């Protein structure tokens, strides 16, 4: 099954380290980041889970619920959680889904047979309150993810979802943004009455970043 941007995130019921969840109900009115890990007790995965635990408040501030998955048992997850706390000093403070039959992994196309027929690749799905897929990333099993960049991605998704703007290359929160190319100049003047500056070409209309309500 191929999951594309804008698709409804497949719903499921699963056992996790924080109890059984019904995924869409668990998301509620928030955002969610669903990420997969190749296997328990693998070194790169341990560093990722520990780091995300250490910056959990950054996701909370953005109203993003974090949840992870690997194709291992709940018992294995509970033992691995102790290693994560021992190595990083932070408890596993978000749910880890047990998916020993790889049912959810296949539902989300997290297993790529040309890479490995059993282990999940490092997938990330950012899901909005409407339960639609807003962004997805896929990393190979031996490359750890940059969760600071994923937070930047979430900031852009939330900003551009609230306003008719796009974020340019290397954008960081607070930087100038681009008026969405779908807006005519006449419509843009109503939304941005103070005007804009052009980056040489008239279709690159630069404005100060709007302020989101948090």
pLDDT bin (cut points 50, 70, 90) of residue 2 is confident
- What domains can be seen in the chain, in order of their start residue? 13-145 (3.40.30.10), 163-207 (3.30.1020.10)
pLDDT bin (cut points 50, 70, 90) of residue 1 is low
Percent of the chain with pLDDT over 70: 95
pLDDT tens figures, 10-61: 999 999 999 999 999 999 999 999 999 988 899 999 999 999 999 999 999 9
- pLDDT for res 81: 94
pTM of the predicted model, to two decimals?
A: 0.93
**Helical pair 74-88 and 43-54, crossing angle rounded to 10 deg:** 70
Catalytic one among 33, 45, 159, 177?
Answer: 45
- CB contact at 8 A, 157 and 62: no
pLDDT tens figures, 102-111: 899 999 988 7
Instruction: Give catalytic status of residue 45 as yes or no.
Output: yes
β partners of residue 15 = 20
CA distance 123 to 146: 12
Q: 99-128 burial, b if ≥16 CB within 10 A, otherwise e?
A: beebebbeebbbbeeeeeeebbbbbbbbbb
User: What is the rounded radius of gyration, in angstroms, for the C-alpha atoms of the chain?
Assistant: 19
Instruction: Tell me the CA distances in angstroms from 203 to 120, 142, 171, 183, 206, one per residue in order.
Output: 41, 40, 18, 10, 9
């Amino acid at each position: 099954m191929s999951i594309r941007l804008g698709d409804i995130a497949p719903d499921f019921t699963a056992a996790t380290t924080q109890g059984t969840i019904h995924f869409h109900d668990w998301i509620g009115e928030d955002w969610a980041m669903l990420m997969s890990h190749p296997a328990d007790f693998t070194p790169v995965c341990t560093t990722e889970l520990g780091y995300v635990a250490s910056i959990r408040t950054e996701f909370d501030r953005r109203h993003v619920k974090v949840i992870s998955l690997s194709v291992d048992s709940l018992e294995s997850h509970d033992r691995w959680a102790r290693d994560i706390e021992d190595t990083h000093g932070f408890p596993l403070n978000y749910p880890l889904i047990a998916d020993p039959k790889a049912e959810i992994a296949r539902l989300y196309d997290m297993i790529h047979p040309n890479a490995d027929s059993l282990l999940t690749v490092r997938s990330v799905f950012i899901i909005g309150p409407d339960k639609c897929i807003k962004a997805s990333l896929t990393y190979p099993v031996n490359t750890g993810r940059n969760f600071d960049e994923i937070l930047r991605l979430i900031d852009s998704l939330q900003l551009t979802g609230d306003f008719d703007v796009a974020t340019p290359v290397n954008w960081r929160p607070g930087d100038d943004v681009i008026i969405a190319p779908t807006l005519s100049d006449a419509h843009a003047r109503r939304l941005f009455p103070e005007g804009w500056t052009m980056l040489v070409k008239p279709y690159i209309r630069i404005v100060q970043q709007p302020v989101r309500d948090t």
